[in-house]
Amino acid sequence: MARARFFTDEDVYGVIAVALRKAGCDAVSTPESGRLGETDESQLQWATDQRRILVTFNVAHFASLHSRWIKQGRHHAGIIVSTHRPVGDLARRLLHLAGALDADAMRDRLEFLSD
């Protein structure tokens, strides 16, 4: 069972990756990876190449991108989308998800963090 590894896009608070690491998760933010300003597709490709689950507040674009990739037979490591939430709430939800779903379960999955 491979543990989930996260990549937070530039819409997500940079401190989320730090909070996830402090809790023992493997996480990196867009600024930390030097990927600011890249397209959504480029970010998803990079996350896929790194076997990282992409975390974003950009629900519409990434839901559409997920659908297009699946229709094209392309694979990704997973996408987690959420509405804007307080930092602590988002971190808790991601940690809960990481405990419930491993990297294999997240492959090609679009997961909505809901209430």
pLDDT confidence of residue 114: 75
Average pLDDT over residues 93-100: 93
Parallel/antiparallel/unpaired status of strands 53-56 and 26-29: unpaired
Q: Over the stretch 4-44, which tens digit does the pLDDT of each residue have?
A: 999 999 999 989 999 999 999 999 999 999 999 999 999 99
- Rounded to two decimals, what is the model's pTM? 0.95
* Average pLDDT of the residues in 98-108: 94
Indicate the average pLDDT of the chain. 95
Q: Does residue 1 carry a pLDDT above 80?
A: no
The pLDDT value given to residue 115: 65
How many CA atoms lie less than 13 Å away from 21 in the CB half-sphere?
Answer: 11
Across the range 47-65, mean pLDDT stands at 97
Residue 58 belongs to a domain with what CATH number? 3.40.50
Give the residue numbers spanning the domain of 38: 5-112
How many independent structural domains does the chain possess? 1
- What burial class does residue 56 get, using C-beta atoms within 10 Å of its C-beta: 0-12 exposed, 13-18 middle, 19+ buried? buried
Predicted confidence (pLDDT) at residue 91 exceeds the cutoff of 80? yes
The answer, yes or no, to whether residue 83 has pLDDT greater than 70, is yes
